[in-house]
């Protein structure tokens, strides 16, 4: 968890630093050019007002008319072709801004349409990107095999290189096409493709906005729509390959931490001995065992024996025979009915291999255990006739 918090704090710091650097660079590059364009625009405005004798109100009205008429240069924006173009810019979050709903009903529908369409589109592009990466990996493996390379393993570096070259090729093809159809320079067309396929969508360059292209050039319209969708798929595949690996690091760390905590909890439950109290008030130590097995009473600790052991600690230890618990593997070996109390059990009826447990208790009086020598937690004495009658029972001593 500490590592995840440090990574998040480092990312926040990097983003703010990146924003500061970007603001400083854009200020240095664009500030002077903006001032020059503003002076030129004011000069042009004064010349027009002197030439045509416009008042200030007339000039503002003329500006408003020009801005409203600009989108209609491409033809009717809200016919099917223009509406399809607008829907693409909505669900792909490109948002050029070249057209916007003018009615309240259209604005309400646009919000609900985006709420459902944007997540669906993101999932679709991510899935297509994964499929594309899988196909590319198979093709690279076959190419390496055909070239006779010693290893045909496709590394992450190979995939990143292929993805980068695919993105560059897609951008160059689009730049060549749009520079031809729109009359832009190759650089401006490349800039338009990059801004579009990264879903930035400034709107300073927008295709299909000249000479009523939406109605008069159907092949170019179809090419533009397909280029946007295919190009977004290629970019999505590259981002899915590179960026999403870093986006999922926090979730992977959280899952790993949870697994480690669960593993430590299981190890603690399976290894550590837990003291419990039985119904008679005597303390005993139990060993947690796996499912479908029994919980064995290993060393019964009786208060009387404990006090006697403390009194006789200076004397030599008396030899006490070992006791064992014998658990049957085959249920048909049990001839007696199942008793109701665990102390009278002669065998276990669960058809699973069990471990017999042998142990020795030093300096404990046998007067409290009866003549068979079996402890309260034992199920069968080592000298019991039932153990001697079945020598093929599976045993193990620990």
Per-residue pLDDT reduced to its tens digit, 198-208: 999 999 999 99
Higher pLDDT, 49 or 86: 86
Q: What is the pLDDT of residue 116?
A: 96
pLDDT for res 361 = 44
pLDDT of residue 157: 86
How confident is the model at residue 170, as a pLDDT?
96
Q: What is the pLDDT of residue 370?
A: 43
Q: How many CB atoms lie within 10 A of CB 2?
A: 6
Mean pLDDT of 19-36: 94
pLDDT number for residue 374: 42
Threshold 0.75, pTM exceeds: no
> Percentage of residues in the chain with pLDDT exceeding 70?
66
Question: Coil, helix or strand for 274?
Answer: strand
How does pLDDT run across 275-295, given as a tens digit for each residue? Answer: 444 444 444 444 444 444 444
* DSSP-based three-state secondary structure for 295: coil
Q: Cα–Cα distance between 297 and 284 in angstroms, integer?
A: 7
Q: Model confidence over 214-223: pLDDT tens digits?
A: 888 999 999 9
- Which pLDDT band, with edges at 50, 70 and 90, does 382 fall under? very low
DSSP state of 46: H
pLDDT bin (cut points 50, 70, 90) of residue 239 is confident
Length of the chain: 398
How large is the average pLDDT for residues 186-213?
Answer: 93
At residue 321, the pLDDT reads 44
Q: Give percent of the chain above pLDDT 90.
A: 37
pLDDT digits (tens, 9 = 90+) for 103-141: 999 999 999 999 999 999 999 998 898 899 999 999 999
- Residue pLDDT, tens place only, 33-46: 999 999 999 999 88
Question: Please, are residues 342 and 374 in contact by the beta-carbon 8 Å criterion?
Answer: no
- Residue (of 338, 336, 331, 325) closest to 380 by Cα position: 325
């Amino acid at each position: 968890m500490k590592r995840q918090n440090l990574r998040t704090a480092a990312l926040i710091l990097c983003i703010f630093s990146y924003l500061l650097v970007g603001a400083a660079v854009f200020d240095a590059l664009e500030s002077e050019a903006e001032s020059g364009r503003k002076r030129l625009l004011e000069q042009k405005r004064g010349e027009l007002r002197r030439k045509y004798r416009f008042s200030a109100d007339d000039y503002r009205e003329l500006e408003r008319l020009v801005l409203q008429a600009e989108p209609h240069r491409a033809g009717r924006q809200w016919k099917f072709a223009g509406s399809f173009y607008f829907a693409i810019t909505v669900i792909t979050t490109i948002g050029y801004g070249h057209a916007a709903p003018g009615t309240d009903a259209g604005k309400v529908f646009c919000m609900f349409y985006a709420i459902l369409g944007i997540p669906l589109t993101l999932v679709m592009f991510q899935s297509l990107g994964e499929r594309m990466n899988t196909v590319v990996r198979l093709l690279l493996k076959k190419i390496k095999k055909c070239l006779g390379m010693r290893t045909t393993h496709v590394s992450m570096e190979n995939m990143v290189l292929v993805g980068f070259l695919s993105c560059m090729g897609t951008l160059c093809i689009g730049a060549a096409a749009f520079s031809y159809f729109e009359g832009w320079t190759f650089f401006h067309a490349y800039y338009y493709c990059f801004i579009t396929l990264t879903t930035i969508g400034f709107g300073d360059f927008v295709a299909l906005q000249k000479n009523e292209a939406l109605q008069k050039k159907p092949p170019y319209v179809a090419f533009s729509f397909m280029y946007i969708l295919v190009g977004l798929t290629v970019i999505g595949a590259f981002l899915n390959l590179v960026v999403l690996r870093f986006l999922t690091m926090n979730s992977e760390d959280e899952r790993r931490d949870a697994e480690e905590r669960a593993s430590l909890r299981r190890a603690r439950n399976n290894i550590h001995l837990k003291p419990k109290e039985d119904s008679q008030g005597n303390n005993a130590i139990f060993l947690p065992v796996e499912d479908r097995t029994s919980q064995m009473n290993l060393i019964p600790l009786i208060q009387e024996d404990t006090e006697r052991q403390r009194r006789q600690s200076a004397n030599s230890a008396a030899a006490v025979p070992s006791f064992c618990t014998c658990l049957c593997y085959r249920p048909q070996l049990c001839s007696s009915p199942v008793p109701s109390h665990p102390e009278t059990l002669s065998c276990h009826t669960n058809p699973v291999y069990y471990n017999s447990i042998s142990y020795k208790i030093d300096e404990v009086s046998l007067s409290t255990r009866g003549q068979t020598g079996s402890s309260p937690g034992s199920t069968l004495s080592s000298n019991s006739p039932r153990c001697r009658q079945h020598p093929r029972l599976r045993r193990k001593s620990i």
